[in-house]
Structure 1
């Protein structure tokens, strides 16, 4: 195992960077999309139910099946990987964003509107900051989930550490097959833990002390 790591340390580092880059960029894109949809939906019970239903149903779709469907229009490569990872990343964030925004005390919103704040200003300065801890919890769940889905994206030749896992599994019993599988798996777990720590720090920096207390 040690010789395998040393001989391929450059490739492992590059694939790890690609994996993290794919996950981080897709989670950021998913966050923007999910919060935008939540802002449109949270004031309407019907749209809120639709958003929650979409989140629940979307999570039941097997990632292999979705990647297989995306192969037809987009072929192999980065595009189906990005679409699949972004889709799954958006689902927990959407659910938490709707819950967080809907849970903001309406008296605070009405007070803000009463002193002359516009709807957009109230959303940006009152509602989103108060809902942010709940939204961030969804982002953390989403990030951990799509770290594994990004590995499965290697099935469509997506970037990342999944190539080590699939390469090892396809050669089980062969030389270094187990090493490749273990390296890919362990590296993904470690990167997931690192990203979660980063998100915890982001939460401390972006959440006001009064809300944390």
Structure 2
């Protein structure tokens, strides 16, 4: 059976796995974005706090993804929980780092002007600082998403959802008729999802970033 014939017979399962893959990455990115931006806001004011946040989140990336998931299995079990925890942790660094860089890059005179017209600290943050820091934050989100697309495939080791299951099934049955087709289908599916997510982020940037501050 050639690759196209395999796609024709297995397309329903592949679409289900692709949906689960995209869903878990999206949900983890939402959590990682909220946590990462919050850490960036809290730590951007002082050098040592920003350095600590960046160092702590970068330390996570030194742990191999397979080892991370393996360490989580005895604690939270198999399936979705270790996948979500691992992906969220891996997604933090680019967002935290870019949030800190973006917030520190806001012109202080604009913040002072906002303060001068009576804006509270929260209003200055939400209406002035975060909108101006949004371009680098969005870049961090794009980088994190591309990383998580690949890492999510490893989650199949812990019975996690997604296209990694197709790849692992193919690797476990190398030599059989459809083994290479499964590996190829899972890999190409992840690449396509990554490209679609990135295109969505480009569109989001055009809709949310004023033309005057686009990179």
Could you report, residue by residue, the CA deviation over 1:97-123 in whole angstroms, capped at 9, with x for unpaired residues? 111111111121112112211110000
Which residue of the partner structure matches residue 37 of structure 1? Answer: 39
Structure 2 alignment gaps of length 5 or more: none
Query: Who is 2:61 aligned against?
Result: 59
**Which aligned segments of 4 or more residues in structure 1 are displaced greater than 4 angstroms?**
none
**SS of the residue aligned with 2:161?**
coil
The corresponding residue for 2:142 is: 140
Instruction: Tell me, in whole angstroms, the C-alpha distance in 2 between the residues paired with 1:184 and 1:132.
Output: 33
What's the CA shift string for 1:152-199, capped at 9, x where partnerless? Answer: 111101000000111111111112110000000011001101110000
Q: Name the residue aligned to 1:81.
A: 83
Structure 2 residue aligned with 1:22, among 21, 24, 27? 24
Match of 1:181 in 2: 183
Q: How does 1:1-213 map to 2 (within 5 A)?
A: 1-212=3-214
Specify the SS of the correspondent of 1:8: helix
- Could you tell me which runs of 5 or more consecutive residues in structure 1 were left unpaired when the two chains were aligned: none
- Cα RMSD of the aligned pairs, angstroms, is 1.0
Instruction: Check conservation: 2:57, 2:89, Cα contact below 8 A.
Output: no
2-structure distance, mates of 1:72, 1:98: 34
What TM-score results when the alignment is normalised by the length of structure 1?
A: 0.97
Q: Are the counterparts in 1 of residues 72 and 82 from structure 2 also a CA contact under 8 Å?
A: yes
Shift, 1:205, TM fit: 0.5
Provide TM-score, normalisation by structure 2. 0.96
Shift of 1:55: 2.7
Measured in 1, the distance between the counterparts of 2:116 and 2:53 equals 30
Q: Distance in 2 between matches of 1:200 and 1:179?
A: 31
Shift of residue 52, structure 1, vs aligned partner: 1.4
